[in-house]
Amino acid sequence: DAGVIQSPRHEVTEMGQEVTLRCKPISGHNSLFWYRQTMMRGLELLIYFNNNVPIDDSGMPEDRFSAKMPNASFSTLKIQPSEPRDSAVYFCASRQGTNYGYTFGSGTRLTVV
Amino acid sequence: ILNVEQSPQSLHVQEGDSTNFTCSFPSSNFYALHWYRWETAKSPEALFVMTLNGDEKKKGRISATLNTKEGYSYLYIKGSQPEDSATYLCAFMNNQGGKLIFGQGTELSVKP
């Protein structure tokens, strides 16, 4: 199994541009999570899906952030328009069930200049 | 607000030392407590998933205990090695939903 696959690994963009982060979970995992890692706040949960349905998006910072999971094998996190304070590492993780650990992707390091 | 606190924030030990860290979490509505190991420039890897009060789990030189009534878990590393250097995260899941809330982590540095 290739694990959780995220793309791109690094993204540098200008303030105001749209950014789309992508995630492919492990096949058979029914939950997918988007986390953001910053020095100040550590790992923060942004949103998670069960069986492709968004369950809790209370961690999404504001309307500039949106996430979709159109099918069991793909999810996107979009920031539009991006701002410098969005600079962080964004992790996607998937899980087989509530009694299992999460498998994390390698993360996308986003820099907004 | 669900607070997950870890201590110490960082720890420096010599090779061969044994060490332990603490994770405290809300004692109400408990469902599960996870431990993860996060090496620099990599992504977090699951060590243990613990669900029952009194649980003890072991993987090689690393072990963990769980007390859900008082809301704490300990992670122990016996005979630390330089390759144990990493940030160790604990994460709490309550019975209201399926999301994990992570602590800030304990950063361990083991010197040869």
- Whether B34 and chain A come into contact, CB under 8 Å, resolves to yes
pLDDT over 80 (residue A112): yes
Name the residue among A31, A45, A106 with its Cβ closest to that of B43.
Answer: A106
Name B57's bridge partners: B64
Name the residue among B32, B101, B102 with its Cβ closest to that of A99.
Answer: B32
Contact B43 A100 (CB under 8 A): no
Q: How far is CA A67 from CA A7, A52, A57, A62, A64, in A?
A: 15, 11, 9, 12, 10
pLDDT in tens, B55-82: 999 999 999 999 999 999 999 999 999 9
- Whether A75 and chain B come into contact, CB under 8 Å, resolves to no
Contact B93 A98 (CB under 8 A): yes
Give the percent of chain A with pLDDT over 90: 88
Tokens of B51: 């669900």
Tell me the shortest Cα–Cα distance from B102 to chain A, in angstroms.
Answer: 6
Do the strands B101-102 and A65-71 form a parallel or antiparallel pair, or are they unpaired?
unpaired
pLDDT in tens, B9-40: 999 999 999 999 999 999 889 999 999 999 98
Lowest mean pLDDT segment, chosen from A39-53, A74-88, B6-20, B70-84: A39-53
